[in-house]
Homo-oligomer: A and B are copies of this chain.
Amino acid sequence: MNIVITGGAGFLGVRLARELLKQETLSLAGSPAQTITRITLVDRAAPPADLAADSRVHAMEGDLNALLEPDNTAAPVVAEGTSLIFHLAAAVSGECEADFDLGMRSNLDATRALLQACRELKAAPTLVFASSLAVFGNSPEQPLPEVITDTTLPTPQNSYGIQKFIGEQLVADYSRKGFVRGRNVRLMTVSVRPGKPNGAASSFLSGMIREPLAGVRAVCPVAPETPVALSSPGHTIDGLIRAAEASDTQWGARTAINLPALKTTAGEMAAALARVAGKEVAGLIDWQPDPLIANIVTSWPAHIRAERAASLGLLPEQSFDDIIRAYLRENPYAVKPPQR
């Protein structure tokens, strides 16, 4: 089985590729398990050394839009014989707000071009589209309901959310037409992300845990009582793979499913950090409210009822303590004593 991962050198792409290589086989859309023979990682950046060294991995470096241009003479992003595509590549929310045209190109045009490339294959491949919780936005004119379900009307309040929601519609219609077998999956805010802060407004939701564990002070720009909905990297990857495995009947409607999320608060996250790593570590969090970020974060829904995900066996984490422990298990090198 040939698999393509766009955004394949990004945090989720790398983790997804490692997981797929480890499991060696995949049962695609309810059919018997097949050996994974090739994973193509499409990204602006090169994959990490462990992936580059795997004979099953093929790296395709470049801008996704440029690679998908019809007059691109290099190898196609989606080669004949591709069974499964995970479309993770995207410009993040902050970038899309700062540069409207960049967001439209990276998120809308690229998704459409990718779907067109799939349509040209002899056999319709499965496409798992990474949509986002960001399709749900709160506004004074149209407050979000208390609980978000799979049939809640998305009302995006930023360009990233709009572009993701449009992507869902495109995937749904290309699926209905039989051009792809689409799987629209809304990812929750991932925490704890390893690595460095990024341009997303949600970046602090990993940073306020990751940095103190590395002995470095970190800012939490929202009040402790601010509710948030989170999913660990591991659960997020499980959701993507499960979407590829589900049969059409198991999957159901072509609309997106929400992945499960743990409902917690910034304050509870800090308390969990104190329980797992000690009060001194949790003391490295600086509570410095930033109205700009707080406004964005409080416009996100915090209570997700992910019924379709549950029917696929995907359940939320039970506690943020568990999420921190998983991070520590997976990133032992990232832990350092507090700097004095």
Contact = CB atoms under 8 A, between A and B. Distances in A.
A169 interface: yes
Given A139-B253, A177-B100, A169 B153 contact: no
B153 A153 contact: yes
A219 to B, nearest CB: 28
Interface in A120-143: 139, 141-142
Interface in A153-186: 153-159, 162, 165-166, 169-170, 172-173, 176-177
Nearest to A100: B177
A337 interface: no
Contacts of A252: 141-142
B162 A169 contact: yes
B151 A153 contact: yes
Contacts of A169: 156, 162, 165-166, 169
A interface residue count range (under 10 / 10 to 19 / 20 to 34 / 35 or more): 20 to 34
Contact of A255 (B153, B166, B170, B254): B153
Nearest to A160: B173
A156 B255 CA distance: 9
A166 B154 CA distance: 12
A152 interface: yes
B176 A157 contact: yes
Nearest to A255: B155
A255 B162 CA distance: 11
Contacts of A152: 153
Interface string A81-98: 000000000000000000
A162 B115 CA distance: 15
Nearest to A161: B173
Contacts of A177: 100, 159
Contacts of A142: 151, 252-253, 255
